Amino acid sequence: MRRRWVLISAVLLSASVALAGGPKPRWLDAMKTLHQGFKGKRGQVAQLGDSITYSMAFWSPIGWADPTPYIPDDGLPKKPKGGRWRDVIKGARDKGISNGNFSGWRVGDILKAIDKVLASDKPEVAIIMVGTNDIRGNRVPPDYRAGLEKVVAKCIAAHCIPILNTIPPRRGHMEAVGQVNLIVAEVARKHQCPLVDYCGAILRLRPGDAWDGALISKDGVHPTAGKTHDYSEENLAVSGYALRNYLNFMMFRTVYFTILTR
């Protein structure tokens, strides 16, 4: 387990920043500038994606379980000033088409929903993960990159900070998974927005095919659930949803203390 925790810590390094002399995220200055024009709902987090986002196993535990005991000493505060994380993060249970997520969705489905989500929910941050359904047949459709670019561009136009996620491993589709995640990383770099390497975290914790049946369920597609609010090193190695929740929370926490409260 010690080795696993070292691997988890290495992945989290990109999602946190030390206040005293630590590395500055490459996206920090651009997102600070973007946020200066924000006039929406403070703390509102949009969830844009397919069934892996639509599931109540993703992100909703942040609304009822306290992640503070699992936060490492990395130079950032562990709690928001004068409150709890569940009081700061809004929209943790926002699921469904009107909230920008649903089963079977591809990037084109998010494009059809995003304008309404941005207009009605006015999110300060958007967690975006899409591509698992796009790559059916182990191929990346030619319009995927352009669609993802449009999703990110719409968030930026609304002064909403996009947090991109790489898609998780999918049985029999690893070539396309790699191609999609390269696109995701390139889009994040181009627009200088935060990136959570969910796939990378899974493969570091469960190398080779060891993720199949451990962090990805028996269907070969969806993350495993279990204790989705338990972010201990043991549980992060067996619950794919807990791992995604924790990685995104840690990224949100960095954004919160370096941008949203500055």
CATH of the domain at 220: 3.40.50.1110
Dist. CA 145–CA 186, nearest whole Å? 10
Q: Which domain holds residue 166?
A: 26-70+77-260
How is residue 94 written in tokens?
Answer: 């926002």
How is residue 262 written in tokens?
Answer: 């500055």
Percent of the chain with pLDDT over 70: 92
Q: Is the pTM of this model over 0.85?
A: yes
- Reported as a single tens digit per residue, the pLDDT across 129-163 is 999 999 999 999 999 999 999 999 999 999 999 99
pLDDT at 3 over 80: no
Residue 12 lies in a domain: no
Residue 181 lies in a domain: yes
pLDDT at 80 over 60: yes
Average pLDDT over residues 204-227: 97
Contact partners, residue 115, CB within 8 Å, separation at least 6 = 154
Q: Could you identify the residue written with the tokens 């942040």?
A: 62
Residue 111 lies in a domain: yes
Dist. CA 229–CA 41, nearest whole Å? 25
**Domain count within the chain:** 1
Residue 4 lies in a domain: no
- Reported as a single tens digit per residue, the pLDDT across 16-34 is 444 445 678 999 999 999 9
55 versus 7: which is more confidently predicted?
Answer: 55
Residue 39 lies in a domain: yes
Residue 5 lies in a domain: no
Residue 186 lies in a domain: yes
Give percent helix, percent strand, percent coil of the chain, each to the nearest 5. 45, 10, 45
pLDDT at 7 over 70: no
